[in-house]
Structure 1
Amino acid sequence: MKVQEILNNLETKHPGEKEYLQAVQEVLESIETIYNENPQYESAKIIERLVEPDRIITFRVSWVDDDGNVHVNLGHRVQFNNAIGPYKGGIRLHPSVNLSILKFLGFEQIFKNALTTLPMGGGKGGSDFNPKGKSDAEIMRFCQAFMLELWRVIGPNTDVPAGDIGTGGREIGFMYGMYKKLQMENSGVLTGKGLNWGGSLIRPEATGFGATYFTKDMLKTQNDSFKGKTVCCSGFGNVTWGVALKVTELGGKVVTISGPDGYVYDKDGLDEDKIDYLLSLRASNNDIVSPYVEEYPEAVFYPGKKPWEVKCDIAMPSAIQNELNGEDAAQLVANGVQYVAEVSNMGCTPEAIEVFHNHKIPFAPGKAANAGGVGVSGLEMSQNAMKINWTKDEVDAKLHQIMSSIHVACEKYGTEEDGYINYVKGANIAGFIKVADAMLDLGVI
């Protein structure tokens, strides 16, 4: 495999799609050796087929606001690869949404889903619609208009969307209501549903819980634990909420949260009341975190800054892609960080990852550490198919098992001669082998 040649061809075909090209480059560089050792992959052109989505659906979404004004947004669904199961991936509603971001997320989702051991392919979707500041009625009209186009190409055994940034239980409910009306069926076509109409327990917390479980196993390889550890997080939504809950339960202390306006440092750490406050802060339909210090004056707000300047034992970026760069990584290393777990999708830039690897800092990539959310979505699909509901403890135990199996796979394929575990390499190789072998079994289609 000639990595640079493939990347050059992709850049020619898809100019300017930097997030997508970054995601592809990371995977190709990790799997180059194993790919070249297996000529059957080359003869079947697995890479050339894998880096291009099966299809991309783009559509207009027209909706009317409360004042009677008509608005037009773009909707997309990227169905990337279904070799091991139906396409599976969230719907992102955010002004930044474009095809490069959705293709990067969909490509990552292929390997993330494969790592869970559940039969799910990779996909992603969304719109440049901004739910912030919109009324419930406006959200409903947009979601219904979005689903009027999307319903034709999804289904419980075809493509199962879920929530993502901007798409929570409210939005999933409006989308599912319209799908149900159009398709005239109750099915597991969407995950992240409400608990009283098909949802799974601990789904909102699952990404954060799963990342913490993965990090716990990462610490265990060093005969270490969360007990007494200081943890820096970014974001302040469901993902950070889940991390804070589980880290606190395991004896660690989360001391930062962040938003577009800056970050909050709370030296005392987030306790149960503060963690609950995160949810109310997010529910206030406002992106800013500065009100935290009004509620808890012992904390300090740093406007326009990122939390990676704070001294910590463990850094867990939990907000958005490329939020932690090379300079941030160097600052963390200088301050003595011992572990880094990427809870957001591709939360660290390639330069940041290089810094961590060069300093032999155990680093968990998002496609491994962040797989808990889609893992529980897969469990929700199973519950829907069987028309049952598992208890919170049952779902949590299955999630723990999924994350432990992912860590085992990363350790198997990522352990280097000096004993350092390259989790990026391990995750990419483990996910790739599963998908590539399935593609070989299915023939050229």
Structure 2
Amino acid sequence: MSLNLKNFINSVEHRNACEPEFLQAVTEVVEDLIPYINEHRQDLIDLKILERMVEPERVISFRVAWLDDNNQIQVNRGYRVQMNSAIGPYKGGLRFAPDVNLSILKFLAFEQVFKNSLTGLPIGGGKGGSDFDPKGKSDNEIMRFCQSFMTELQRHIGAETDVPAGDIGVGTREVGYLFGQYKRLQNNFTGVLTGKGIHWGGSYIRPEATGYGLLYFVQCVLDYNSESIEGKTISISGAGNVAYYAAEKAIQLGAKVITLSNSQGTIYDPEGFTLERLQHLGSLGRDLKDYTSKYASSSFHAKQNPWQFPCDIALPCATQNEINAEDAKKLVEQGCKIVAEGANMPSTAEAIKIYLQAKINFGPGKAANAGGVAVSGLEMSQNAIGQQWSPEKVDHRLKLIMENIHKTCVRFGKEPNGYINYLKGANIGGFIKVAEAMKAQGVV
């Protein structure tokens, strides 16, 4: 007996109608897994491991009613997708954004299962959030929303059950309000959330972790090919934490970062950002175009992405499906050698096919941006033993984790011609550990 790829995808699509992001994520994974399972792991077919992995263990949806500053009642929808707990408690961020829906959260939770497995830490996969938009809201409105959100969520999470973190729209401020409400309702101080403030259970290097980890992964790719990052030209999309700290680490390592962007457009500085220039850009908030008034070498390209500018390395750090087939072709034509994803699924399926056909070194998000959840897992460890590790120790552990992820990708992704298919390696490497745990635990 064997799995049929087309029939499997059709079945998932039938059971998850109108969920394009989730179907895209599943398709990307099973295109690698089904051939591998058919050839190497017949035992997993009878156990229907893959069929069980694409079905969340639990999906929670709830109403979030709260009062705005005008004493008007507002109503949002909250979610928690608890995807897979075979290797540890559910772990994954909370996203507050107006486009949040079940399809997006299921795709993120599914990706999180593989990402968390690759870190080597004992954490399962989950994701949650709300269609609440924190932009333009006062601190008090955000606090009241977070308190209402946690009043419902608290009955479904715990330090040994499900440990949420931050994501888009959920930073230290929001985590603080969520944690405070959980503590008040449960009457205990426990590591139920990660991304906490440094003085109340948080970990050093957590804000920087995804961006730093991304560059550590890129370093591994270059080292494997006997190259150095020094002098390489890097294009980065986004201007949030991931993009900012990816740029910071790249500059520290001697690379030349030429772009950052947001929804308004792209800043292009052919001279390259220095740490001083990067700090200035970070102080501008969303008004990136104001950077050009201080640095004449730069230009602002309204409503355009960074992929038009020649680079050696592209780091998409903004949002899903930001690089389409046309962008990917442009990157290939201009000589880009590495694409490593700082965001979750920022490349469309068509773009990924172009990378692989061109033999670009493509680091998928589940591998390349695992640094954030890795340090969240380290925060859980610190909370469990009542310690706080130094920034140097956390950074060292982060680097080791990213190096081990790279080794896993090479192990499972090396093709007969020597090309490393990092996507295939990450998919299979992340799957094996979870599948073995599910097999050992029986039909649950």
- Bin the TM-score by the shorter chain: over 0.9
Compute the displacement of 1:277 (Å). Answer: 3.1
> CA–CA distance in 1 between the matches of 2:406 and 2:284?
33
Aligned residue in 2 for 1:280: 283
Bigger drift between 212-221 and 294-303 goes to 294-303
> CA–CA distance in 2 between the matches of 1:220 and 1:278?
30
Q: 1:30 aligns with which of 18, 29, 32?
A: 32
Q: 1:215 aligns with which of 199, 213, 218?
A: 218
Pairing of 1:150-299 with structure 2 (within 5 A): 150-282=153-285, 286=286, 288-299=287-298
> CA–CA distance in 1 between the matches of 2:173 and 2:295?
29
What SS does the corresponding residue of 1:195 show, helix, strand or coil? coil
Aligned residue in 1 for 2:127: 124
Bigger drift between 390-399 and 32-41 goes to 32-41
Matched, 1:92 2:91: no
Pairing of 1:23-422 with structure 2 (within 5 A): 23-36=25-38, 37-282=40-285, 286=286, 288-422=287-421
> CA–CA distance in 2 between the matches of 1:193 and 1:278?
25
Compute the displacement of 1:441 (Å). Answer: 0.4
Q: Residue 280 of structure 2 aligns to which amino acid in structure 1?
A: Y
> CA–CA distance in 1 between the matches of 2:377 and 2:256?
30
Give the TM-score normalised by the residue count of structure 1.
0.98
Deviations 1:287-315 (A, max 9, x none): x5323324434321001111000011100
What SS does the corresponding residue of 2:196 show, helix, strand or coil? coil
| Matched residue count | 441
> CA–CA distance in 1 between the matches of 2:23 and 2:290?
37
Distance change in 2, residues 1:200/1:279 (3 Å)? farther
Compute the displacement of 1:10 (Å). Answer: 1.6
Report sequence identity in percent.
54
Compute the displacement of 1:278 (Å). Answer: 4.1
Aligned residue in 1 for 2:22: 20
Compute the displacement of 1:279 (Å). Answer: 3.6
Deviations 1:338-360 (A, max 9, x none): 11111111111111111111111
Deviations 1:201-223 (A, max 9, x none): 01001000001000100011111
> CA–CA distance in 2 between the matches of 1:234 and 1:218?
20
> CA–CA distance in 1 between the matches of 2:52 and 2:354?
32
> CA–CA distance in 2 between the matches of 1:390 and 1:205?
15
Deviations 1:342-380 (A, max 9, x none): 111111111111111111111100000000000000000
Q: Is the 1:238–1:279 contact (alpha carbons within 8 Å) kept by the matching residues of 2?
A: no
Root-mean-square deviation (CA, aligned residues, Å) is: 1.0
Q: Residue 354 of structure 2 aligns to which amino acid in structure 1?
A: V
What SS does the corresponding residue of 1:123 show, helix, strand or coil? strand
What SS does the corresponding residue of 2:66 show, helix, strand or coil? strand
Compute the displacement of 1:53 (Å). Answer: 0.3
> CA–CA distance in 1 between the matches of 2:294 and 2:60?
45
> CA–CA distance in 1 between the matches of 2:84 and 2:327?
34
> CA–CA distance in 2 between the matches of 1:208 and 1:302?
24
Q: Residue 253 of structure 1 aligns to which amino acid in structure 2?
A: K
> CA–CA distance in 2 between the matches of 1:349 and 1:187?
39
> CA–CA distance in 2 between the matches of 1:306 and 1:436?
39
Unpaired runs of 5+ in structure 1?
none
> CA–CA distance in 2 between the matches of 1:76 and 1:438?
26
What SS does the corresponding residue of 1:97 show, helix, strand or coil? coil
> CA–CA distance in 2 between the matches of 1:392 and 1:178?
28
Unpaired runs of 5+ in structure 2?
none
Deviations 1:180-227 (A, max 9, x none): 000111111000000000000010010000010001000111111110
